[in-house]
Amino acid sequence: MARPWWWDDRGVLVRPAGVGDIERLAEVHVLSWQVGYRGLLAQSLLDGLRPAQRVPRWTAAVRQAAWPARGVLVADEAGEMVGFASLHPSADHDQDATEVGEVASFYVLPAAWGRGVGGQLMAAAVRMFGAAGFASATLWVLETNARAIRFYAHQGWEPDGVIRDDVVGGITVRDVRYRRKLPA
């Protein structure tokens, strides 16, 4: 894997996740959902989330890393994990998994929003996809998540016209796929 970590001028370290990060990944995931999806998903669903529920998912993701095409990047600020990006070849049936990478999850703690952490993390994800040889990358975002959509647009992502229905907590929601060409 080329350049396994990146520092920015504000002291944010982006690096591959390790087994010791799994519990914190689950915590960041839940805390980010509870604030980021407030008003977009049922409050009872958000209130019921527990990090322990997410540990198996993150254990598998970390252990199945195959850099540079698959793994979890974490953003550390002052020694504390404040965000993560889960990356893998596209899982969408209309995409060529050898050509298209996918950001499967992208979350930053609300306390770190607006400080450049997300931009640094996304830049590292794009570099990692480039190192894997992908020509483009995709991600899915909840259609009503205006904050995330603004962030992705600012980072150079654009909707590609594909939508899908998903079920979250027993409620059907609509996701929109965004795409970004990667540098050659």
Residue 2 pLDDT: 41
- Please choose, from the candidates 78, 82, 57, 74, the residue with its C-alpha nearest in 3D space to the C-alpha of residue 4: 74
- DSSP E strands, 12-157: 12-16, 71-77, 80-89, 100-108, 136-142
pLDDT band at 183 (very low <50, low <70, confident <90, very high): confident
Domain 6-181 architecture: 3-Layer(aba) Sandwich (3.40)
What is the average pLDDT across 33-48? 95
pLDDT-wise least confident of 9-13, 49-53, 67-71, 86-90: 9-13
What does the pLDDT look like over 102-137, one tens digit per residue? 999 999 999 999 999 999 999 999 999 999 999 999
What does the pLDDT look like over 140-173, one tens digit per residue? 999 999 999 999 999 999 999 999 999 998 889 9
d(CA 96, CA 63): 24
d(CA 33, CA 30): 5
Domain residue limits, the chain: 6-181
pLDDT band at 8 (very low <50, low <70, confident <90, very high): low
Backbone Cα Rg of the chain: 16
What sign does the CA torsion over 69, 2, 138, 143 have? Answer: positive
Tokens of 45: 């669903």
Residue 11 pLDDT: 75
